[in-house]
Structure 1
Amino acid sequence: MAGALAATPPVAGVSTVSAKVVLVSAIASGQGKTTTTAALARKLVQQGQRVRVFKTGPDFIDPMILERACGAPVYSLDLWMVGVSASRQMLAQAAAEADVILIEGVMGLYDGEPSSADLARAFGVPVIAVLDASAMAQTVGALALGLRDFGPVQLAGVIANRIASAGHAAMVAAAMRDIPLLGSLPRQPQTLPERHLGLVLPDEVTQIDALLDQLAAQLELSPDAWEGLPRTAFELMSEPAPAALLSDKTIAIARDAAFSFLYPANLRCLRELGAELVFFSPLADECIPPQADALYLPGGYPELHAAVLSKAQCWQGSVRKAWLNDMPILAECGGMMALTEGLTDQQGQHWPMAGLLGGQVVMQPRLAALGGQAWQTPQGELRGHTFHYSRFETTLTPAQHTCKHQRGELAGAGEAIYRSRQLHASYFHAYFSSSPDAAASLFLRDGA
């Protein structure tokens, strides 16, 4: 590999970088991908490795856990929402500063369009399969062979999860023929807790760092098999900075346990557009900072904190004043829920909210919407996703709808987008870098 790279002539504005890169996947959700990726990241960091972690597809919560494990922001990779070129460039940037890059997959290896397998093939990345061996032994080999050959993918090896003993691990290793057993994790007395939208936020888990250290210590890694994994090369391109469309603008962003669903890439995009970002906590009843020119209310868990939010008079008063003064406001999912007249939580209790949008939000036990969507704006197509367990009961007429992304195409009406004065509100979570111009327009007054 080193000789091949040395023989490549340099190109102006382009440099070749490489790192050990693996995509961590499984046969399905619930196999322990996030736990294993977090344990592996923490173990490698403890060994002195520079580690960067990515998450496949739209996700907010897993990246928070993985960021805690590796100590660096965790960005999303997605062939559609993020785009092939942008995903490749992020991998190249990570390879320029890291020894190891871990990519946590989504669902099962071949699930979804595009799937984790599609992403691995697009960038020439080998796959590590996490397989729950708690109720089997030799059959793990059949699963590993099937995962490798169905696509196929370059299967670098298996990490067997929930192993009962050294003998159990030996049976699994012997059954996998030419596929290496890279490592194993024992059954865990304490696991990362979950709720309706996924894992519990890391700050809510008692002694999260001690738990991650424990997982890292219990992860048995084969030094020879791990060191034998190849490095993947990328071309790192120099990129022009985007137009500073938000120069001299200050954007206030709600960030606390109720409003925590923030893509690191969105924050980076706003800063690249020239904005200054200031953060505040509605849960702590903080008013919108007085220097703010615009407001961003991301998604999160307002339904878990509805009682506190309903009594947050400073926060509610400041957002009503900002709305009446025609401040540009973007409210996504949980952010929109907090601006309605009221919210009925999972226990059936009703809580008054800020009242900028007529109607009521009602939590429900079943998933209401999930999947990639796109918002067609005059400035371009803003891509993103939706994922929520509530419904908005309202007589308001949507200004527009997003389009669903299905089977590689945009088809059918997606989430409603509500417009009131300078407020845009929807269940849709936007990925700003898919159209920086469109993202910037949401934080500027009409005609600005």
Structure 2
Amino acid sequence: MTTCKALLISAPSSGSGKTSITAAIARWHARQGLKVRVFKTGPDYLDPMILQRASGHAVYQLDLFMGGLEHCRALLAEAALEADLILVEGVMGLFDGAPSSADLAAAFGLPVLAVIDASAMAQTFGALALGLQQYRSDIKLCGVVANRVGSAGHGVMVGEGLPANLPLIAALPRNAALTLPERHLGLVQAIELPGLDELLDGWADAWGAAVKPGFEFASLRFEPAETTATPPLLQGRRIAVAQDAAFSFIYPANLDCLRKLGAELLSFSPLKGEDLPDCDALWLPGGYPELHAQTLREHPSLFADLRAHCEAGKPLLAECGGMLCLGISLTDGDGQVHPMAGILPGQALMNKKLSALGLQSIGWPEGELRGHTFHYSSLVTPLPPIAIASNPNAGRAAEALYQQGSLRASYIHHYFPSNPAAVAAFFSTQFAG
């Protein structure tokens, strides 16, 4: 059992400023020489990119559905062995979703810091904070942050209605210069923000100036999880992974899972013109191919190499954006049609509105995997699915899984630790060419 200071940062709703506050706290303490580990509740790729830059360490998911209780316990225990401070950014509002951020806090006894956007309220701030504190008895709200206050007086006003056992930890002023740009899937990727480090330092400075003297993080005991050794089912297999701004939606835990299975990972960047490495299997993760379709199309060998890979019967897993690159064409948000690899029959189209969002459970031929879906595009294909996912929250999102030879494709972003054996079985198969 290991002791480490820890905190979960949540809010009444999305858009309250959880990411910026979490990043500010992480950056502030990392600059003080502390080892900070940050986690993100639920499926997300974009916020963790920001938090990784803020903390200087890869950000892992804590999701009670995708990974399960013991997997989350193992990640926290591992982090506690090396960290001085563990921060967990929540998802949506504190009680939203199933499982929710509150469920995670209750499972591990994480104290909760509530970030409330105070820009359009005064005394009601206290009522909202009190409601968050009393809604569930199995979590503990240790304090509140008033975000985007209009003045010092406004910051004092919103804190006046708080009870003594729910202190105002900080009141942070509105500052348009300390905001991040967004696009259809959320925040712009960290690798696309050249001034990100200066922005993070600005957030850290704002936190340091606003935090009340005497605020202390609670120390928690993290118990090691009951885990079994992962057999090296992919020993000797070379798996290529596309990684750049077009293919960036990658859980660090997925890479860890493949390595623990014994695979050698070969990263390459199609956007930089790099060739597909000599490999036994290939993973094309999601990302933003619609923003880079012309560059991908102009790659001298990418599409031909992908076709040759499949013709050789080598496994290829394509997720969401990775799948869109394999169709006949991709119509971007401006209506421009881009010819793609032509391996997967069908056309992809970017839509103006959200197409699907939700947790997913999918029955691969090798076993059940879990993950999530989140996309603004649609795929029209005559290819019949080999499986249809289910949504644990009874949502409408239920994605198809397609198989054509050695190619397996879906809008689902799979979480490999949910079934390492199934992932290994697919990536180790030699299909008929």
- Aligned-partner Cα distance in 1 for 2:343–2:325: 9
1:66 is displaced (CA, Å) by 0.3
1:230 is displaced (CA, Å) by 2.1
State the TM-score, normalized to the length of structure 2: 0.95
Q: Secondary structure at the match of 1:414?
A: coil
Are 1:257 and 2:242 counterparts? no
State the TM-score, normalized to the length of structure 1: 0.92
CA RMSD of aligned residues (A): 1.6
User: Among 352, 376, 382, which residue is 2:369 paired with?
Assistant: 382
| Residue equivalent to 1:61 | 46
- Aligned-partner Cα distance in 1 for 2:268–2:326: 16
- Aligned-partner Cα distance in 1 for 2:300–2:391: 37
Taking the TM superposition and a 5 Å limit, the aligned residue runs for 1:254-403 are 254-290=242-278, 292-403=279-390
Question: Which residue identity does 1:247 align to in structure 2?
Answer: Q
Identity across aligned pairs (percent)?
54
Unaligned runs of 5+ in 2: none
Are 1:199 and 2:187 counterparts? yes
Contact in 2 for aligned 1:329/1:442 (Cα 8 Å): no
- Aligned-partner Cα distance in 2 for 1:388–1:447: 30
Relative to structure 1, is the Cα distance of residues 50 and 193 closer, same or farther in structure 2, using a 3 angstrom cutoff? same
1:316 is displaced (CA, Å) by 1.1
Structure with more of its chain in strand, by fraction: 1
| Residue equivalent to 2:425 | 441
Question: Which residue identity does 1:63 align to in structure 2?
Answer: P
Q: Secondary structure at the match of 1:253?
A: strand
Question: Which residue identity does 2:54 align to in structure 1?
Answer: A
- Aligned-partner Cα distance in 2 for 1:343–1:285: 20
Are 1:136 and 2:121 counterparts? yes
| Residue equivalent to 2:13 | 28
Contact in 1 for aligned 2:149/2:174 (Cα 8 Å): yes
Contact in 2 for aligned 1:294/1:327 (Cα 8 Å): yes
Return 155-164 or 331-340, whichever deviates more: 155-164
- Count of residues in Structure 1 that have an aligned counterpart in Structure 2: 427
Contact in 2 for aligned 1:306/1:351 (Cα 8 Å): yes
Question: Which residue identity does 1:221 align to in structure 2?
Answer: V
Are 1:109 and 2:130 counterparts? no
1:166 is displaced (CA, Å) by 2.1
Deviations 1:88-129 (A, max 9, x none): 111111111112111101111111111111111111111100
Question: Which residue identity does 1:78 align to in structure 2?
Answer: D
User: Among 113, 126, 132, which residue is 1:147 paired with?
Assistant: 132
1:447 is displaced (CA, Å) by 7.6
| Residue equivalent to 1:209 | 197
1:378 is displaced (CA, Å) by 4.4
Relative to structure 1, is the Cα distance of residues 118 and 238 closer, same or farther in structure 2, using a 3 angstrom cutoff? closer
- Aligned-partner Cα distance in 1 for 2:276–2:35: 38
Contact in 2 for aligned 1:18/1:92 (Cα 8 Å): no
- Aligned-partner Cα distance in 1 for 2:316–2:328: 17
1:348 is displaced (CA, Å) by 0.7
Contact in 2 for aligned 1:370/1:386 (Cα 8 Å): yes
- Aligned-partner Cα distance in 2 for 1:272–1:387: 28
- Aligned-partner Cα distance in 2 for 1:261–1:447: 26
User: Among 393, 401, 411, which residue is 1:406 paired with?
Assistant: 393
Relative to structure 1, is the Cα distance of residues 262 and 238 closer, same or farther in structure 2, using a 3 angstrom cutoff? same
Contact in 2 for aligned 1:340/1:360 (Cα 8 Å): yes
Contact in 1 for aligned 2:313/2:430 (Cα 8 Å): no
